[in-house]
């Protein structure tokens, strides 16, 4: 039995070793498959994380386009208010200048009439006074015209800035 048991033990060892090698091979294959799947999952996780970062960046930038848009709206409202105030100021100044011109014209006519009645004997003096008053009147009219032109240029400039802000806002909305 001694020999028989040795043979039996050898067979068992042989069988067990073959089975062990087969089992080890199977386990090794499963580990390789699992490692491959893990690598694929890691790649997908990296892609997902990068997409998440991109989306977060986009969301942050969108929150910023909205804040900027609100700021632009406030700025445009202020500029529109400033333009309307300047228009009102321009109209007021224009009325004041017209009133001043009328007052000076009446004053001139009155002084001219007085001068004509007093100095019928001095025709050169009357002409001289008329030319002085005309120059004064012309000077005031030129000042008024310059001031009106300056205010109109300011208004035109503000309106162009406002239009540019609106165009910029519309372009940003499209994107």
Tens-place pLDDT, residues 103-160: 988 988 888 888 777 766 555 666 777 888 889 889 989 999 999 999 999 999 988 9
Say yes or no to pLDDT of 174 above 80.
Answer: no
Tens-place pLDDT, residues 40-67: 999 999 999 999 999 999 999 999 969 9
| Under 8 Å between Cβ of 100 and 136 | no
Overall domain count for the chain: 1
Entry pTM: 0.39
Tens-place pLDDT, residues 74-112: 999 999 999 999 999 999 999 999 999 899 889 888 888
Residues 6+ apart with CB under 8 A from 133: 108, 111, 112
CA dihedral (53, 58, 59, 60) in degrees, to 10, reads 90
Poorest-pLDDT segment among 1-5, 24-28, 37-41: 1-5
Residue 72's domain comprises 2-174
Q: Which has the closest alpha carbon to 129: 144, 143, 109?
A: 109
pLDDT band per the 50, 70, 90 thresholds, residue 13:
low
| Under 8 Å between Cβ of 118 and 128 | no
| 123 vs 25 pLDDT, higher one | 25
Say yes or no to pLDDT of 8 above 70.
Answer: no
pLDDT for 14 equals 58
Q: Which has the closest alpha carbon to 60: 48, 68, 70, 49?
A: 68
């Amino acid at each position: 039995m001694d020999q028989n048991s040795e043979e039996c033990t050898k067979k068992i060892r042989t069988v067990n070793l073959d089975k062990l090698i087969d089992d080890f091979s199977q386990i090794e294959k499963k580990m390789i498959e699992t490692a491959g799947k893990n690598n694929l999952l890691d790649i997908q996780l990296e892609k997902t994380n990068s997409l998440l970062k991109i989306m977060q960046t986009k969301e942050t930038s969108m929150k910023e386009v909205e804040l900027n848009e609100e700021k632009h709206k406030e700025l445009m409202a202020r500029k529109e208010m400033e333009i309307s105030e300047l228009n009102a100021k321009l109209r007021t100044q224009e009325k004041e200048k017209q009133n001043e011109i009328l007052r000076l014209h009446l004053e001139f006519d009155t002084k001219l009439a007085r001068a004509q009645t007093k100095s019928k004997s001095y025709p050169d003096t009357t002409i001289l006074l008329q030319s002085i008053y005309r120059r004064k009147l012309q000077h005031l009219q030129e000042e008024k015209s310059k001031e009106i032109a300056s205010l109109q240029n300011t208004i035109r400039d503000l309106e162009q800035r406002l239009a540019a802000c609106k165009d910029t806002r519309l372009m940003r909305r499209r994107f």
